[in-house]
A = this chain, B = another copy of it.
Amino acid sequence: MRQVDLTIEICGSSGDGTLAVGEILVNTLSDLGYRALSFDVYPAEIRGFGKCVAHCRVSDKPVYSVGRSVDALVSLNDPYSIEQLATLKPGGVVLFDSWPLREVSEESCVAGRLGPGMYLYGVPFGELSQRSTHGARSRNLVALGAIAGLFDIDAEAFEAGLDRKFGGKKGNVAQTVKAAFRAGHDYVKEKLLKVDPVSFAVKEELEKKDFQIMNGNQAAARGAIEAGCRFYAGYPITPATKIMEILSAKLPPLGGRVVQAEDEISAIGMVTGAAMMGTRAMTATSGPGVCLMTEFIGYNVMTENPVVIVDSQRGGPATGLPTKTEQSDLLLALFSGNGDAPRIVVAPTSVEECHYWTSEAFYLAEKYQTPVILLMDLFLSTCKTNAVLSELDKAKLSANKSPSPGEEGVGRFKVTEDGVSPRALPGTPGFEWTVSGLEQNELDSPSYYANVHTEMTEKRARKLMTALQNDVPRPERFGAKGKVKLGVMGWGSTMGAVIEAVERANEAGLSAAALKQVVLNPLHVEDIEKFVDDCEKILVPELNYSGQFARWLSMHVNKPIHGLNMVKCSPLTYLDVLEEIERLITETS
């Protein structure tokens, strides 16, 4: 059981500094040893006008999903905050600006809209900002101070954080922000009588780890760098653009190269060329970009070339909902490209795994000479958490199967037992090869013969089986052991919510278990079958309409699958899953 598990939302308009409050909050809580996850919602349209929400979930244990209901809502803009009230918990807290800068009509004041049992505190953010900083722009920091004061978070930790963040700036910015913070904090301590139960206080000391605050894009970029990626080509697209922007800054000093291509076809083409030279190479995009890359995905399957492709999914189809999260590119990732074109598909389930699995993707791609598609999504790409990164295995930095001296003339596609052919890198004398999107025989010549096509098709499939045996972790089971009423299988960014839902279901006495795998192709089918045999019913929750993972699983499993399919433009919460677990188990008994 968690000691603390609180969700705070700060809600304001674009100019209010809303998201900054969320950021500082998470940073400070991280310094104090809490585990936090924050996910920002910002306006979908071009100009930065509109509602911003910083959603922060905080606990003493790792957090992998957003909170379903909110414990405390901090309003910097009342009309927008009224919309947010819908997800405030019964008994939740609202902290609002009792001295806003612009007049708020009575009916659009959040104070008037509270449900029964909610706690309301008014703090004159505007006034306190004016008084403490001679300006109104620090309302957000006043609010931050109020949060610290009201919910028992160490004020000094905040001040240290503010010093770190603003200390370098010229003028006495740091002093000003701290003054605003203090004003809010002290006001709450002095003037308000706390009656609500929301508190960050913990009994057991929190373990402070080497936290790295980052989102999935940063984690993936870092994983790539650490895995020795030295070539990146890409084309901007939400929500993947940041990966390119980070690598553009970080790769050149390491001797790596980044090319902004004219489109996604060119990006994957460049990555293909670089990878053929033996350089670890990657591109990152979103669904529409993957569509344009599919011919090259098949090409890299055919030429057995190691490329890594990140697809940070967003709402679809087509241009879809560029700023909303969704998990609806799974079948695209698995089946894009003409012909039989098997590839490795990996879906990390957390920011930490974005780091680990991006790096692992390079290893798998190189070792098995295959494209690897990493399925992230807008939520993973942009949610920030204080991650504890895993150490990467240096031995995996070089995984190419070079031909032995004496093997000159071996050709590029020798049929081997494990399906992996020796691969000389250009520049090696005596091993000149030619690769092609045409089917080729062992001597690299185009071939149209049934035996060659069959043998090579088998080889391309076989090496993924080798990968499965040697390098793909077995699925991990969570929750109740043995036979259960319900088994839940999740994937990608919503896995965290699934595991949490199952754990809570178990706590509530429900017989449920979860199975997690990060590698979605190739699959450990036997383990899955075993799990499915253990479960009376199977539930697959996912953020898409057609039940894409359920469909993929149903190709391997002969039991009906219940889908929980939502296209709700926001992340899945454990409560979404828990409700469905309850429903299905109740039905059973």
Interface residues of A (CB under 8 A from B): 44-45, 286-288, 290-292, 294-295, 298-299, 301-303, 313, 315-324, 326, 328-329, 331-332, 334-342, 436-439, 446, 448-450, 453-454, 457-458, 461, 544-546, 548, 551, 554-555, 558-560, 566-570
Write out the residue numbers on chain B whose beta carbons fall within 8 Å of the beta carbon of A446: 44-45
Q: Which of B320, B546, B554 contacts A302 (CB 8 A)?
A: B320
A546 and chain B: residue at smallest CB distance: B340
- In angstroms, Cα B118 to Cα A94, docked, is 94
Task: Sample 12 A-B pairs with CB under 8 A, ordered by A number.
Answer: A288-B298, A294-B336, A317-B340, A317-B341, A318-B337, A321-B438, A323-B448, A331-B335, A332-B337, A340-B548, A453-B569, A457-B545
Q: Are B326 and A339 in contact (CB-based, < 8 A)? A: yes
Write out the residue numbers on chain B whose beta carbons fall within 8 Å of the beta carbon of A339: 287, 315-318, 320, 326, 328-329, 544
Max chain B C-beta neighbours (<10 A), residue from A303, A336, A446 = A336
**Cβ distance A330 to chain B, nearest Cβ, rounded Å:** 9
Given contacts A461-B545, A567-B454, A568-B450, contact A338 B317 (CB under 8 A): yes
Write out the residue numbers on chain B whose beta carbons fall within 8 Å of the beta carbon of A286: 338
- In angstroms, Cα B458 to Cα A195, docked, is 45
Q: Are A292 and B292 in contact (CB-based, < 8 A)? A: yes
Q: Are B453 and A338 in contact (CB-based, < 8 A)? A: no
- In angstroms, Cα B319 to Cα A448, docked, is 12
- What are the nearest 8 A-B pairs in CB distance? A316-B339, A287-B338, A318-B437, A319-B437, A317-B339, A291-B295, A317-B341, A298-B317
Write out the residue numbers on chain B whose beta carbons fall within 8 Å of the beta carbon of A320: 302, 338-339, 437-439
- A interface majority secondary structure: loop
- In angstroms, Cα B287 to Cα A336, docked, is 11
- In angstroms, Cα B287 to Cα A319, docked, is 23
Q: Are A448 and B318 in contact (CB-based, < 8 A)? A: no
Q: Are B44 and A448 in contact (CB-based, < 8 A)? A: yes
A455 and chain B: residue at smallest CB distance: B567
Q: Are B338 and A290 in contact (CB-based, < 8 A)? A: yes
Write out the residue numbers on chain B whose beta carbons fall within 8 Å of the beta carbon of A294: 291, 294, 332, 336
Write out the residue numbers on chain B whose beta carbons fall within 8 Å of the beta carbon of A316: 298, 337-341
Write out the residue numbers on chain B whose beta carbons fall within 8 Å of the beta carbon of A570: 450
- In angstroms, Cα B561 to Cα A558, docked, is 10
Write out the residue numbers on chain B whose beta carbons fall within 8 Å of the beta carbon of A546: 340, 342, 461
Q: Are B342 and A338 in contact (CB-based, < 8 A)? A: no
Write out the residue numbers on chain B whose beta carbons fall within 8 Å of the beta carbon of A337: 291, 316-318, 332
Write out the residue numbers on chain B whose beta carbons fall within 8 Å of the beta carbon of A336: 291, 294, 332, 335-336
- In angstroms, Cα B337 to Cα A320, docked, is 11
Write out the residue numbers on chain B whose beta carbons fall within 8 Å of the beta carbon of A331: 331, 334-335
- In angstroms, Cα B335 to Cα A544, docked, is 13
Q: Are A302 and B317 in contact (CB-based, < 8 A)? A: yes
Given contacts A320-B437, A551-B555, contact A453 B340 (CB under 8 A): no
Q: Are A288 and B338 in contact (CB-based, < 8 A)? A: yes
- In angstroms, Cα B13 to Cα A503, docked, is 71
Q: Are B559 and A448 in contact (CB-based, < 8 A)? A: no
Q: Are A448 and B290 in contact (CB-based, < 8 A)? A: no
**Cβ distance A371 to chain B, nearest Cβ, rounded Å:** 11
**Cβ distance A562 to chain B, nearest Cβ, rounded Å:** 13
Write out the residue numbers on chain B whose beta carbons fall within 8 Å of the beta carbon of A317: 298-299, 301-302, 337-341, 437
Q: Are A458 and B545 in contact (CB-based, < 8 A)? A: yes
**Cβ distance A95 to chain B, nearest Cβ, rounded Å:** 26
**Cβ distance A314 to chain B, nearest Cβ, rounded Å:** 8
Write out the residue numbers on chain B whose beta carbons fall within 8 Å of the beta carbon of A544: 339-340
